[in-house]
Amino acid sequence: MEGGDHLAHERKKAQFDVEAMKIVWAGSRHAFEVSDRISKLVASDPAFRKDNRPMLSRKELFKNTLRKAAYAWKRIIELRLSEEEASKLRFYVDEPAFTDLHWGMFLPAIKGQGTEEQQQKWLPLAYKMQIIGCYAQTELGHGSNSSKWWPGGLGKISTHAVVYARLITDGQDHGVHGFIVQLRSLDDHSPLPGITVGDIGMKFGNGAYNTMDNGVLRFDHVRIPRDQMLMKVSQVSREGKYSQSNVPRQLVYGTMVFVRQTIVADASCALSRAVCIATRYSAVRRQFGSQNGGPETQVIDYKTQQSRLFPLLASAYAFRFVGEWLKWLYTDVTQRLQANDFSTLPEAHACTAGLKSLTTAATADGIEECRKLCGGHGYLCSSGLPELFAVYVPACTYEGDNTVLLLQVARFLVKTLSQLGSGKQPVGTTAYMGQVEHLMQCHCNVQKAEDWLKPAVILEAFEARSARMSVACAKNLSKFTNPEEGFAELSGDLVEAAIAHCQLIIVSKFIEKLQQDIPGKGVKQQLGVLCNIYALFLLHKHQGDFLSTGCITPKQAYLANEQLRALYSQARPNAIALVDAFNYTDHYLGSILGCYDGNVYPKLYEAAWKDPLNDSVVPDGYREYIWPMLKQQLRTARL
């Protein structure tokens, strides 16, 4: 390796089998092999180069994305890639594009809400990319009748859209329904009569999400054929008669449940990527602390650096496992829906909404923290972190604003509690509410720091905190005569209760993961350390909740923090190997600071000279603006 492996000494410190951890991270040997093969395929193909993105104008950037998308599709066909491989290829190309919405929302919306007949008609066209679709729900203003605004892929490329609009028959408003609408001619791509469509303009960050054509759409007397209304949930007959299938109306929002579940898995990817960069760089970077003329301290050895970095490393793993579980939950609810069992839909909605909110918020904040952990160099585009942040941060808003989603979770929690009175036993992620009487009065029995390593102790503390916060909200709500008024007044507390519940889910799924058989020397032990870091970090951060609800004492909070410090020391020698287990190529990371060999400084130096500003020694504009100014100063000085 050119320049040698500057992190080799760190890799030797690992106390576990990194190859085995790679399989755990990927989810299975098969998933690992697909991911490994496809990531290398993308990394080795110059057509997928991405380091020039920050330098390109919007038009160049967008055209480049179209080129990459077409080339990716060509490779998918040539190599006869499976759906799984093709989706990995798009993932590793790592550039937001209209194809994300085509595959990620347009197709799932038709699958989830279209009748068999509609699926047979539209899906083959979409699978072969003979039509390109987007998902048009959000409006410019309020309501479902102004202009669509934001849909990705809509602005310049989509030929079709699933449009959400109010259905009115015989003067009666039946609420929002999905319709497949053709937007553009399949011959010359011009908008069809009555359709106004275009891009909404530049977004946050240079390059970044500007590869996407988020769009605006208006209709003027556009006729949508009756059979293009998605009719699985409700139907309109030829005579204009409206009817509903014997299924919950909420299925209209099913695409969001699907996509939110994928967003949780994506959060672990984005966070792990930032953490990989910050961890490798923290091991390379030395700053101060030299004794007797020896080398300066690696910044990763500073406890403050560890207390900021290692919880993020642990969160990346936690989100990975909760994402895996959420995928299982989604598959389970889908199978039940097919068998007309709708009982788990509200829980699936609450879990996907809440976990989407929690994981995206923590990831967006985590990426920014990683930038700061890399000091000044983190601010350079070549660190990969500014672009990653700019691309990632809208995840806190799209697919439902995070606060709005937490309010959905809060409604579910309040409903669950109110049903306890009627004897309905909560199941799944709310099963703990069934022991609410115990959880309202139990005492944490931690007496020494190591007691905090017991999974049962951690679980009970998180369950008690969540139950007590939800019960407090329910009690306060009961004081209002108008429940909606009460909900609005107490929404801040309700959001906090929802956060406590979702944190409990993540912690409990990490603990459940550790109860499985996990092969590989030291792998389970390292995951145990990360699980405890994740749980105790949350406990430390939210100790106000735990203390004010009386779940723990101040002494126990102190002991949790003491244990946390000890866990950081255990994680330290394994840190580099734990990020190597993500198996990211340098191409995917897109970061000089995070490169595998840790040969950061020569690469930074070399990259600087490639900046277009360094093409000439004297910059454009010097003669025009600076030289006359200097000359003027010179003249004044001589006078």
Ligand X SMILES: Cc1cc2nc3c(=O)[nH]c(=O)nc-3n(C[C@H](O)[C@H](O)[C@H](O)COP(=O)(O)OP(=O)(O)OC[C@H]3O[C@@H](n4cnc5c(N)ncnc54)[C@H](O)[C@@H]3O)c2cc1C
570 touches ligand X (CB under 6 A): no
Contact 196, 133 (CB under 8 A): no
Residue 145, C-beta contacts closer than 8 angstroms, at least 6 positions apart: 139, 165, 166
CA 120/CA 418 separation, integer angstroms: 43
The partner in contact with residue 50, picked from ligand LYYUSVKP, ligand X, none with C-beta cut-offs of 5 to 8 angstroms by kind, is none
CA 443/CA 550 separation, integer angstroms: 8
With contacts defined by CB under 6 A, name the span among 146-154, 181-189, 244-252, 296-304 that binds ligand X.
146-154
CB of 272 to ligand LYYUSVKP, least distance (A): 19
CA 517/CA 224 separation, integer angstroms: 54
Determine the length of the chain: 639
CB of 227 to ligand LYYUSVKP, least distance (A): 24
DSSP state of 153: T
Residue of 483, 347, 319, 466 whose CA lies nearest to 409: 347
The partner in contact with residue 235, picked from ligand LYYUSVKP, ligand X, none with C-beta cut-offs of 5 to 8 angstroms by kind, is none
Counts of helices then strands in the chain (DSSP H, E): 24, 8
CB of 622 to ligand LYYUSVKP, least distance (A): 43
CB of 261 to ligand LYYUSVKP, least distance (A): 11
502, two tokens? 């979702």
Which residues sit in the known binding site? 138, 152
336 touches ligand LYYUSVKP (CB under 6 A): no
17 touches ligand LYYUSVKP (CB under 6 A): no
Q: Which residues between 134 and 163 bind ligand LYYUSVKP (CB under 6 A)?
A: 135, 137-138, 152
Residue for token pair 């410019």: 140
Between helix 254-284 and helix 385-392 the angle, nearest 10°, is 160
For residue 399, indicate whether it is catalytic. Answer: yes
Report the C-alpha dihedral over residues 23, 24, 30, 31, rounded to 10 degrees.
-110
Phi, psi at residue 162, to the nearest 5°? -90, 115
Beta pairing partners, 229: 179
Q: Which helix (H) or strand (E) segment is 181 a member of? A: strand 172-182
Alpha-carbon 528 to chain mean position: 24
CA 571/CA 235 separation, integer angstroms: 57
Q: Which is nearer to ligand LYYUSVKP, 160 or 603 (CB)?
A: 160
The partner in contact with residue 408, picked from ligand LYYUSVKP, ligand X, none with C-beta cut-offs of 5 to 8 angstroms by kind, is ligand LYYUSVKP
The partner in contact with residue 136, picked from ligand LYYUSVKP, ligand X, none with C-beta cut-offs of 5 to 8 angstroms by kind, is ligand X
With contacts defined by CB under 6 A, name the span among 35-43, 393-401, 461-469, 601-609 that binds ligand LYYUSVKP.
393-401
CB of 152 to ligand X, least distance (A): 4
Binder among 153, 400, 426, 594 for ligand LYYUSVKP (CB under 6 A): 400
CA 508/CA 503 separation, integer angstroms: 9
The partner in contact with residue 403, picked from ligand X, ligand LYYUSVKP, none with C-beta cut-offs of 5 to 8 angstroms by kind, is ligand X
- Name the catalytic one among 95, 399, 460, 496: 399
Binder among 101, 314, 370, 497 for ligand X (CB under 6 A): 101
Binder among 107, 165, 257, 575 for ligand LYYUSVKP (CB under 6 A): 257
Q: Which is nearer to ligand X, 40 or 411 (CB)?
A: 411
Q: Which is nearer to ligand X, 102 or 273 (CB)?
A: 102
411 touches ligand LYYUSVKP (CB under 6 A): yes
Which residues sit in the known binding site for FAD? 138, 152
CA angle, residues 376, 382, 383, in degrees to nearest 5:
55
Binder among 296, 301, 401, 615 for ligand X (CB under 6 A): 401
Residue of 366, 360, 331, 368 whose CA lies nearest to 348: 331
307 touches ligand X (CB under 6 A): no
The CA R_g of the chain, rounded to the nearest whole Å, is: 27
Q: What x-and-dash track marks residues 403-422 binding ligand X by CB under 6 A? A: xx--x---------------
From residue 135, give the alpha-carbon distance in Å to each of 70, 131, 506. 21, 13, 30
151 touches ligand X (CB under 6 A): yes
Question: In this structure, is the dihedral angle defined by the CA atoms of residues 199, 203, 207 and 210, taken in order, positive or negative?
Answer: negative
Binder among 48, 209, 568, 582 for ligand X (CB under 6 A): 209
CA 406/CA 327 separation, integer angstroms: 20
Question: 3-class SS at 168?
Answer: strand
Residue for token pair 């699933």: 162
The partner in contact with residue 259, picked from ligand LYYUSVKP, ligand X, none with C-beta cut-offs of 5 to 8 angstroms by kind, is ligand LYYUSVKP
250 touches ligand LYYUSVKP (CB under 6 A): yes
397 touches ligand X (CB under 6 A): yes
CA 481/CA 505 separation, integer angstroms: 32
Binding-site ranges for ligand X (CB under 6 A): 101, 135-138, 150-152, 209, 214, 394, 397-401, 403-404, 407
Would you name the residues annotated as active-site residues?
Answer: 399
Binding-site ranges for ligand LYYUSVKP (CB under 6 A): 100, 135, 137-138, 152, 250, 253, 256-257, 259, 345-346, 349, 398-400, 404, 408, 411
